[in-house]
Amino acid sequence: MPWPEDVLTDDEDIVVAFRQHWKLLAVPFAWFVGVLIVLVVIFLWLPVGGGFELAIDLLVLAAFGWFVVRPVVDWWMTRYVLTTERLITRKGLIARSGIEIPLERITNVNFSQSFWERFLGAGDLLVESAGTTGQSRFANIPRPDQFASVLYNARERRTLALRSGSPAGDAKGDDAIDKLSRLKRLHDDGIISDTEYEEKRKKLLEEI
């Protein structure tokens, strides 16, 4: 079973899962185009063979790995997951790190967007929580204002569920039709992918 499904508890469901905003791929893409141009210049203008050409080839490959491959891998391996019980982050390919914040410990959520980030639908989210975690910043996420609202709603449902002693997914008013409506808004806002939307939609339709 893939992550994050393999770390969920019996009564825990995924509300939304996503990666950082696609704007982080703009710079690696620009470097990719630049590397291609340099390679074309090398093959067309520099003499074939020789240690000088080999040195340049190695330098270009190193730049490609550092400025193109590394940030793309970092983007792909950074995931944010909001469940009915906690907020989870995972980063890294070989050396991995992560944060897990129980929803009932979240005390405040603030988002920030510059002019261009608002235009692109990106921004940062600052989550304050009780305990040792303190403040956690989620940088360059899609639609931080929309996600902040979803996070607040999930926290309120979790708090009500703990008080009533029932699973978070059984809170009043959180029926399948309401979930479908919220799921559609998340998909329209670009917070969840087409694949995730279809998978969750099929599950919800089975409950109706």
How is the chain split into domains, by residue range?
Answer: 5-20+78-207, 26-73
**Neighbouring residues of 82: CB distance < 8 A, sequence distance ≥ 6:** 14, 15, 16, 17, 88, 147, 150, 151, 154
Q: What is the pLDDT of residue 55?
A: 75
pLDDT at 195 over 90: no
Q: How confident is the model at residue 12 (pLDDT cuts 50, 70, 90)?
A: confident
More confident residue, 117 or 197: 117
Average the pLDDT over each of 27-31, 79-83, 96-100, 140-144 and give the range with the smallest value.
96-100
Note the pLDDT tens digit of each residue in 148-180. Answer: 988 988 888 888 877 776 555 454 445 565 676
pLDDT in tens, 42-89: 777 766 555 666 777 788 788 888 888 989 999 999 999 999 999 998
Lookup result for tokens 């989210």: 125
Q: What is the pLDDT of residue 173?
A: 42
Q: Which CATH architecture fits 5-20+78-207?
A: Roll (2.30)
Helix (H) or strand (E) holding 34: helix 26-45
In the chain the first and final C-alpha atoms are separated, in Å, by 26
94 exposure class (CB count in 10 Å sphere: 0-12, 13-18, 19+): exposed
**What angle in degrees, to the nearest 10, is found between the helix axes of 144-164 and 176-188?**
160
Helix, strand and coil in the chain, % to nearest 5: 55, 20, 25
The three-class DSSP label of residue 98 is strand
**185 falls in which pLDDT band (50, 70, 90)?**
confident
Higher-confidence position of 31 and 56: 31
